A and B are shown apart, each in its own frame.
Chain A
């Protein structure tokens, strides 16, 4: 534990972390893949399914009205979390990937033309690359890249030159899922706005690690996934500037998003409904709301301070291992550590650690351009959360020693 959080008590809210796993203590160092869900959020979803289940925005029944209140209440919790001006600017999606696809398709198709440029950072997850490539191919637009240095920091000196009159949007991750780099998104947004260019911030790895204020950032779009924030899978968020969301055409059509339908013409509802066709992930939205309450109870400031202290501890211990190289050494990092071991492939490391009950991610982390930059086929990644402590890091160090012993 650190002086910021009482991890032993927190872990009582996570049955997976306290129950034996293949006869061992589970060391979960993979929260960047998915955050564990605390019992209060699980119980809230269980209660909804058991005692409150119906559909939302349907009819006059008390049951439906109460479900709607809970569901819209979760939207308000997200609004408060991001300090968005209005909950109407919080669009539910299935996750970060769907949020970015929504922007690329609904906003992008309307605004990106042949010869235009889409500027992305060198450390984007595939979710913030591929939707833009699809759009660029369709429109004859071009993808340009903000480069990074070998510490894994964006080279901002190059940014001004890359923001041209053809640039239609900038997409940048708040925190790299591989390198842990915390990008200076506020500065990037200011520079883009100086030239009238909107910015989408991928907050999938940002919002779990730090307080987020979309008005202070002044971003145009902010996207994240519920399951990285200790909520369930299947729910995510697109925050957007009001004028941009209102000007966007619907992406999907269907129920819930219309004012009236005739064979000749459909009149759409305003935001957020216009962008949310069909029955939504009600249980998941309510569960995410409960997860946000839980994290707020711990305090995002304390979570950030705890993770920072743990990151420092883990970095020092890992660096002391001979033959281990940390990939991503930015001055400003969140608690994500990628590393390689000389002569040992990450998948072999991952399999051996797995047997020790240590869960890490081994692979390209859906960020192949980052692997190409550092000229590694893959890395092993340990990601630390508010329910991890020094004992987890110590177990990882012992596990890595075992890997080295096996490989002699």
Chain B
């Protein structure tokens, strides 16, 4: 098992302490609620999507450092991007956590999100990292509630 310090890097600790884009957009065009019933992580994502671009998005809720930092970094990476690109990030993020995409070798648009690669060595925490992305995917698809179970 890798040292948790490799995962709990400063960026993740810092985003957990001061999450970006925290709150709720009213009005919004898309929203979804994400639940991780096993550990109680609970987030709500609201988006404004216009002309195929994620103009703005916010999240709120509670959870562990991994899910909070993952949510925060997701918002900063997705904001201003075309919806197709956001969906591509959802796919690549999931693939990275599953171990089928190595951001140091395979082409990707994950950028700083590759910080979360270490989660693949902590199977019990995979759902925490993926929750905001699964919720974003649901919001874009128009599903109200998502669960990582």
* Binding partners A and B: yes
- Residues in chain A within 8 A of chain B (CB atoms): 22, 343-348, 351-352, 354-355, 362-364, 368, 371, 377-378, 406-408
- Interface: B5 (CB within 8 A): yes
Q: Tell me whether chain B's interface is mostly helix, strand or loop, or mixed.
A: mixed
Q: Chain A residues near B1: list those with CB within 8 A.
A: 22, 355
Within 8 A of A (CB), among B1-53: 1, 3-5, 8, 13, 17, 38-42
Contact of B42 among A346, A351, A362, A377 (CB under 8 A): A377
Q: Is B125's beta carbon under 8 Å from chain A?
A: yes
Interface pair A363/B65, CB less than 8 Å apart? no
Contact A406 B66 (CB under 8 A): no
Which residues B119-141 have CB closer than 8 A to chain A? 122, 124-125, 128
Question: What is the CA–CA distance of A368 and B63 in the complex, to the nearest angstrom?
Answer: 15
Q: How far is the CB of B117 from chain A (nearest CB, A)?
A: 15
A/B interface sample: 16 pairs, CB < 8 A: A22-B1, A347-B125, A347-B128, A348-B65, A348-B66, A351-B4, A351-B122, A363-B38, A363-B39, A364-B40, A371-B40, A377-B41, A378-B39, A406-B4, A406-B13, A407-B8
Q: Is the CB of B3 within 8 A of A408?
A: no
B10's closest neighbor in chain A, by CB? Answer: A408
Given contacts A363-B39, A378-B39, contact A345 B8 (CB under 8 A): no
| A345 lies within 8 A of B122 (CB) | no
With A343-B17, A364-B40 known, 17 other A-B pairs at CB within 8 A are A345-B63, A345-B65, A347-B128, A348-B8, A348-B65, A351-B4, A351-B125, A352-B8, A354-B124, A355-B1, A355-B4, A363-B40, A364-B39, A377-B63, A378-B39, A407-B8, A407-B13
B95 within 8 Å of A by Cβ? no
Query: Which residues from B are CB-within-8-Å of A346?
Result: 64
Question: Does residue B62 face the partner (Cβ distance < 8 Å to A)?
Answer: yes
Q: Is the CB of B4 within 8 A of A352?
A: yes
Q: How far is the CB of A376 from chain B (nearest CB, A)?
A: 9
Report whether A362 and B39 are in contact in the complex, using a CB–CB cutoff of 8 Å. Answer: yes
- Smallest CB separation, B39 vs chain A (Å): 5
When the two chains form the complex, which single residue of A343, A347, A408 contacts B39, counting CB atoms closer than 8 Å? A347
Residues of the B chain whose Cβ atoms lie less than 8 Å from the Cβ of A355: 1, 3-4
Residues of B within 8 A of A (CB): 1, 3-5, 8, 13, 17, 38-42, 62-66, 68, 122, 124-125, 128
Chain B residue with Cβ nearest A352: B4
Q: Please, which residues of chain B bring their CB within 8 A of the CB of A368?
A: 40
Task: Give bound CA distance, A348 to B5, whole Å.
Answer: 11
CB closest chain-B residue, reference A347:
B64
Residues on A with C-beta less than 8 A from B65 are 344-345, 348, 407
Complex alpha-carbon distance, A378 and B128, angstroms: 14
3 residue pairs, one from A and one from B, having the closest CB atoms = A345-B64, A347-B64, A377-B40
Of A22, A354, A406, most buried by chain B (CB within 10 Å of CB) is: A406
With CB as the reference atom, state the residue of chain B lying closest to A406.
Answer: B8
In the bound complex, what is the Cα–Cα distance between A263 and B17 (angstroms)? 69
**Interchain CA distance A364-B40 in the complex, whole Å:** 7
> Residues of A contacting B128 with CB < 8 Å?
347
**In the bound complex, how far is the Cα of B134 from the Cα of A332, in angstroms?**
44
Bound CA–CA A352/B4 (angstroms): 6
| Residues in chain B near residue A407, CB distance under 8 A | 8, 13, 65
B148 to chain A minimum Cβ distance, whole angstroms, is: 13
Q: How far is the CB of A280 from chain B (nearest CB, A)?
A: 31
Complex contacts, B125 vs chain A, CB 8 Å:
347, 351
Q: Is the CB of B40 within 8 A of A406?
A: no
| A362→B128 CA distance, assembly (Å) | 13
Docked Cα-Cα span, A362 to B38, in Å, equals: 10
CA distance A345 to B66 in the complex (A): 9
Bound Cα distance A355, B124 (Å): 12
Select from chain A the residue with minimum beta-carbon distance to B9: A406
Residues of the B chain whose Cβ atoms lie less than 8 Å from the Cβ of A22: 1
Kindly report which residue of chain B lies nearest to residue A343, judged by CB atoms. Answer: B17
CB <8 Å contact, B124 and A406: no
For A354, the chain B residues whose CB sits under 8 A away are 124
Inter-chain contacts of B66 with A (CB < 8 A): 347-348
| Complex Cα spacing A364 to B125, Å | 15
Closest to A353 in B: B4
Q: A89: shortest Cβ distance to chain B, in Å?
A: 37
CA distance A307 to B48 in the complex (A): 56
Within the complex, the shortest CB–CB distance from A324 to chain B, in Å, comes to: 17
Q: Which residues of B contact A364 (CB under 8 A)?
A: 39-40
Question: A362 — which chain B residues lie within 8 A by C-beta?
Answer: 39
Given A347-B64, A348-B66, the answer on whether A406 and B39 have CB atoms closer than 8 Å is no
CB neighbours of B122 from chain A (8 A): 351
State in angstroms the CA–CA spacing of A97 and B17 once bound together: 39
* Residue of chain B at shortest CB distance from A346: B64
CA distance A75 to B58 in the complex (A): 58
Q: CB < 8 Å: which of B3, B38, B64 contacts A348?
A: B64
